[in-house]
Structure 1
Amino acid sequence: MSKHPGDRRDGHPVARFVALLETELAALVDAPTWSLDPATTADLVPRLAGLVAGVQELEARVVGHAGVLDLPASIGARSLAVWLARTTRVTGAEASRKARLAGDLAAHESLRVAMAEGRVHGEQAKVIAAAVGDLDGEHFSWREKAEAHLLDEAAHHDAHDLKTLGRRILETLDPDKADEHEARLLEAEEARARKKARFAMWDDGEGLAHGRFTLPSAQASMLRKALTAIAAPKHVRAEHGAGTYDHERPTPEKLGLAFGEYVERYPADQLPAMGGVNATVVVTMTLDTLNGGLAAAHLDTGLALAPDQARRMACEAGIIPAVLDGAGHVLDLGRRRRFHTPAQRLAITLEQQHCQHPTCTTPAAYCHTHHTTPWSQGGTTNTHDAVLLCPFHHHQTHATGDTHPLRT
């Protein structure tokens, strides 16, 4: 029976529903599921997912109302999420997610109704609200159409695919602005990712080191590709005799061993001695993007990059560009850019000593060597056409196109 029987007789409709649901669920506590046949089971799973979505929408609506009533203040909580965590005993992260969902649904009525009807679930609602919210400025008026389009697509795509579709929503609504819109979103996402990058490692004293890291998706994609190449299934007959094969996909254990091998194999003479980075990847971009255009670039792993990050990497990281024309034909593949030699780097260091941005004194050892005339525009690798820039100002130079006069 419901803990609140009065709700079923004369309470608010929401209270009556919750009381009824409590009663019905209590009656099913010991109901066996083994007697469900395959067809019924297959039918019930998506129906239950829809019901859960509807209940989550109702919960979000009530949580939002708790904020309107300022219930957090009744216990001295500093936010709705803190009040929710305390009241329902969920973690702070989960409470924050629920509070954000309440705000998203309150701001998007069509999305709220779709979730109440079980047509979208919480993950999908989150990415749809984010994609619609990203339409601002001249595209603010497209929000209603974008929301309707993504709600239709939610019937066929999961949250991951919806995020991609949301980022490219203007291909459907305003194709001429689609590339610029996606590039702007990628730049903002990558800027947030750089601020959250972390690495921590500690030794347990028993022969093992443990660690945690947070990397931007682009660099994580490079690491994943390198480890997969080492741990990938391969013929092992050379080591274990004829007829011996390794068919398994890389397990966490194999990837861990691959990471150790990756560290051991990394050539010490290739480590940057005076700053710079040392990654070699294949980036596919249009010639217009390489020369300063707004379309996104893509790693050969499929990850999208903001154009300014691709150009910054091309300047410093030994990138192998696959440059395409407007029709998608390869113009140049495998042309590796030339680094400044150690002797050139030493001469530049002796002359400039530190970052050449007027407000920065970062030592040369921590700076990148930047071509004042972009390599993509015919710049040459010499000591006269180079300035030292710290990673921050190097990124800013490629992101904004600013030029910095040499110090005297």
Structure 2
Amino acid sequence: MDTTASLWQTSDTELVDAHTAVVQRQRQLYAEELRLVAEMESRGVATKLGYSNTPALLMHTARLSRTEARRRIAQAADLYATTTPTGSMIDPVLPQTANVLARGEVGSEHVDVIRKTLANLPHLDAEQRTTAEQVMLTRAAEDDPKALDRFGFRIRDIVDPDGPPPPEEEPKRPARMLRRHIRRDGSMEFKGHLDLESAQLFENLLKPFEKPPPEGNDTRGYAERAGDAFADVLRMAANCPDLPAHNGARTEIAVTLSFEHLKRALDDMVLPGDQQLTAREARLLACDGHILPAVLDGDSKPLDVAVPAYATPAHIRRGLYLRDKGCAFPACDRPGSVCDSHHVAHWAQGGPTEMDNMALLCPHHHRLVHNSEWQIKMIEGRPWFIPPAYVDSSRTPRRNHIHTPIPSAA
């Protein structure tokens, strides 16, 4: 990008590339700042100049808040070697992070997440800590700090799947407990707790029943809806072993288009009832909606009402839940219950409604895939996402590491 040119003369991708380059330089300068702060702290420069400590000095020289000054000093202490007053050298806790920050590949917030994650794993040995830091940096190359923080909860399972040894006298307690009391009027009050598996089952059973009615005139509070849902589940369990399906077929939408529009297959207007919908929007809905395309002739007479073969059957949706476990887009933690099933090769171009051509996407990332240059490629039966060149010039495929399992480090 020509820095002498006016910004309005630059293309969109040039503008994004220029911003990325500036961010990289800022991160490199931040790494240099931390290196200087580490040296100032090691030498005791602040006390030599008459200040009580280094934060007090930085509050005057850099006009930082005391909180921010302390944060940077803590980062510097973990990233760079320091010298004690007795002259002994203390090796850095996160040397790999220091190198990556110096290249401008991660930012200050990434550093905070990595420091916090490893600080919460004090039982790791030196080799495991090195591996954990490397795995976090690999993810940081693609993830924003919030997504990296979510991923950090899995680090122990990756580098130390056995976990710390249990105490010799580990207290035992029941996995499930229920206390109930029948009142004088015959009603019941109860309390208890469930293990993880039973708690998830309980939540899944309640969800279909505790939703407020679509009419919008429900005056019950959340606790009242949950109580009514619990009673409904009990009645269903008593009367029939088959519980109502969750996330089954979607509402059917009849979309009508002229035969001429169908032949052109352009982004012309498609009319569902009295509403206007572009063909692009219709394709987005058709990924997972139960849309019935009706082709009309010039006199608005139906020529054909197609069978919606692309609507995702319940058994395929269940398979997608088991495989993707949630939104398959990199770093997204949205659960499968709120996701659409997206056709990788669009059904309009002959893409089949099969597991090997489907991926779960939350509404936000579903729209992004349809409206941006992100692409999806199925690799070994799983969806991988190819970023646009302005996100990653190498366009290296990425996948979601939050929902999908990652092999343990050797």
Q: Which category describes the TM-score, using the shorter chain as reference length? A: 0.3 to 0.5
TM-score, normalized by length of structure 2? 0.38
TM-score, normalized by length of structure 1? 0.38
Q: Greater strand percent: which structure?
A: 2
Higher relative contact order (CA 8 A, sep 6+): 2
